[in-house]
Amino acid sequence: MTAERGQCVADTGAGAADPARTRRVVATLIVAVIGFAVQQTAVVPAIHDVQLDLHASTEWASWLVTVYLMVATAATPAFGRLGDLYGRRRMLLVGLAVFAVASAGAAVAPNLPVLLACRAVQGIGGAVYPLALALARAAAPGRTTRAVSALSAAFGIGTAVGFVGGGVLAQYVSWRAVFAGGAILVAAGWALALPLLPETRERAAGRYDLIGTVLLGLAAIALLGALTLVVSLGAAAPATLGLFALAVLAAAGWVWRERSADDPLVDLHILRHRPVAVANLGTIALGWALFGSYLVIPQLARADPSAAGYGLGVDSAAIGLLMLPLAVGQTFAAPIAGVLERRARPRLVFAAGLLLVAISAVLLAVDRSSVPLTLVASLVLGLGAGAGLQASSAVATAGVSADVAAASTALNSTVRRLAGGTGGQVGTIILATFAGSAAATPPFRGYRVVFLVEVVLCLVGAAFVVRPAGGRRE
């Protein structure tokens, strides 16, 4: 997130254009991004192992992914704004340090509540990647495209290593080794960044919106808690209704705060620009389907086909391999989508990505116990997500002024994470509802409902992206 508010002092660091220094800076950022990306996804194939070891229910174990996303929803724009005010290098170092300490804490967590608390603190690390991108742009003037491409590739590599490495460690060592290994990687990135990363001199004017940060985080966590309690207590339980009410009140307060504050955490006024509104409608579907799959695909693959009538009956290591095509597809699709955007409208690329995600959901909805079909569905999901994520930023900034573009990108990232956390938890609730109180595993029709919801959302999102309100094509 760049300094989109107030006037900034230009970065005049003499070494900013030095090729050798630029290479050192980008290489350091690559190490930091890989460590962050590995830890972000390595937990996915290990969720079942955590669930068994700590005696947790499926819906509470799913918090390992969703609580991270919900905290990152508020932390990403918050750290972006703090970076604008106090320096991006400083905030990157803070983010990496907090992420490493939380990872180490998760490795020795004695129970699920402590583990979830550590995972929530890890959500602060969600700001690492956008801060790294901002630092790369500042360090490589004239070579911004190469620097950003290198970090994008590093993120994809880290994601892939996280899926495979997390599965192998959880299966053959311990789920605790997943977090311990992540702590070491992130700490290595921090140790390199401390002496090698220069601080940019640009600073934004204005104040930090602490109230907006608290309200956004409260709304996200309250919504997550209410959705989880639907399974165990019911939708009409006082605790469930109370958390839903708190989520609504906090969200309403946040919207009011962001619309009235002089220096908002997220500038909601930019939704008046039709490209921004359209991009975020499509992003809701994309985030919902992508992050929801992080929870649903491993559950589906782990099911024993002889007992459940579906599933692959595989272990954590194999689940990591099944998720690998998703990371590979996402890594290769993003640069290809960037090239296509210069030849076709970004809207069409975004819509095509959403359609690929919908096709992946259809494949999974008919895949009862086929490893090849699961691998194909994972790859198609990665291709669609990579293209969609790349194009969504272009759509969100199309036709808007430069001072609005950065705020639009920040809002798009916030919407994607919030939709992802909600989608993953709703998918878990649907499966738990179909399973009932007596069944250990849900029937396959529960998974079909989850994937059908994803298909509908992606098709509706694609329709909005291709033809915005009023029917005028841009």
Whether residue 406 contacts residue 1, with contact meaning beta carbons closer than 8 Å, is answered with yes
Banded pLDDT at 137 (limits 50, 70, 90): confident
Task: Assess whether pLDDT exceeds 60 at residue 6.
Answer: no
Whether residue 250 contacts residue 222, with contact meaning beta carbons closer than 8 Å, is answered with yes
pLDDT at 440 (0 to 100): 60
pLDDT at 5 (0 to 100): 37
Task: Assess whether pLDDT exceeds 50 at residue 334.
Answer: yes
**What is the percent of the chain with per-residue pLDDT over 90, rounded to a whole number?**
40
Distance CA 363, CA 278 (A): 27
Task: Assess whether pLDDT exceeds 60 at residue 67.
Answer: yes
Q: Tell me: the pLDDT tens digits for 202-226?
A: 666 678 888 988 998 899 889 988 8
* Cβ neighbour number for residue 262 with a 10 Å cutoff: 9
Banded pLDDT at 126 (limits 50, 70, 90): confident
Cα angle 124-127-128, degrees, rounded to a multiple of 5: 105
Task: Assess whether pLDDT exceeds 60 at residue 468.
Answer: no
Distance CA 101, CA 151 (A): 23
Average pLDDT of the segment spanning 364-382 = 93
Task: Assess whether pLDDT exceeds 90 at residue 358.
Answer: yes
Task: Assess whether pLDDT exceeds 80 at residue 289.
Answer: yes
The three-state secondary structure class of 83 is: helix
Residue in the block written with tokens 């590995």? 38
* Cβ neighbour number for residue 19 with a 10 Å cutoff: 9
Distance CA 431, CA 441 (A): 8
Shortest CA distance to 289 belongs to which of 133, 419, 403? 419
Choose between 6 and 470: higher pLDDT: 470
pLDDT at 233 (0 to 100): 82
**What is the percent of the chain with per-residue pLDDT over 70, rounded to a whole number?**
89
* Cβ neighbour number for residue 445 with a 10 Å cutoff: 12
**Amino acid letter, 31:** V
Q: Tell me: the pLDDT tens digits for 30-61?
A: 888 888 888 888 999 999 999 999 988 888 88
Task: Tell me the DSSP string of 372-405.
Answer: HHHHHHHHHHHHHHHHHHHHHHHHHHTTS-HHHH
Distance CA 102, CA 125 (A): 10
Shortest CA distance to 194 belongs to which of 63, 334, 93? 93
pLDDT at 470 (0 to 100): 47
The three-state secondary structure class of 43 is: coil
Banded pLDDT at 143 (limits 50, 70, 90): low
Banded pLDDT at 345 (limits 50, 70, 90): confident
Question: Out of 1.10.1040.10, 3.30.70.20, 1.20.1250.20, 1.20.120.1200, which CATH number does the structure's domain 16-194 have?
Answer: 1.20.1250.20
Whether residue 411 contacts residue 370, with contact meaning beta carbons closer than 8 Å, is answered with no
Whether residue 388 contacts residue 350, with contact meaning beta carbons closer than 8 Å, is answered with yes
Q: Tell me: the pLDDT tens digits for 231-285?
A: 778 888 999 999 999 999 999 999 999 888 888 887 787 887 777 888 889 999 9
Banded pLDDT at 134 (limits 50, 70, 90): confident
- Measured CA to CA in angstroms, residue 244 lies from 61, 182, 237 at distances of 20, 34, 11
Displacement of CA 199 from its chain's centroid (Å): 27
Task: Assess whether pLDDT exceeds 50 at residue 189.
Answer: yes
Whether residue 275 contacts residue 400, with contact meaning beta carbons closer than 8 Å, is answered with yes
Average pLDDT of the segment spanning 101-124 = 94
Average pLDDT value for the chain: 85
Distance CA 398, CA 401 (A): 9
The least confident of 96-105, 320-329, 331-340, 396-405 is 396-405
Task: Assess whether pLDDT exceeds 60 at residue 2.
Answer: no
Whether residue 442 contacts residue 427, with contact meaning beta carbons closer than 8 Å, is answered with no
Whether residue 377 contacts residue 357, with contact meaning beta carbons closer than 8 Å, is answered with no
Shortest CA distance to 212 belongs to which of 263, 245, 258? 258
Task: Assess whether pLDDT exceeds 50 at residue 342.
Answer: yes
Distance CA 92, CA 374 (A): 37
- Packed helices 63-86 and 402-435: angle between N→C axes, nearest 10 degrees: 170
pLDDT at 128 (0 to 100): 83
Average pLDDT of the segment spanning 452-457 = 96
Q: Check: CATH 3.40.50.2020 for 266-474?
A: no
Task: Assess whether pLDDT exceeds 70 at residue 312.
Answer: yes
Whether residue 115 contacts residue 5, with contact meaning beta carbons closer than 8 Å, is answered with no
Q: Which token pair is 320?
A: 């990591």
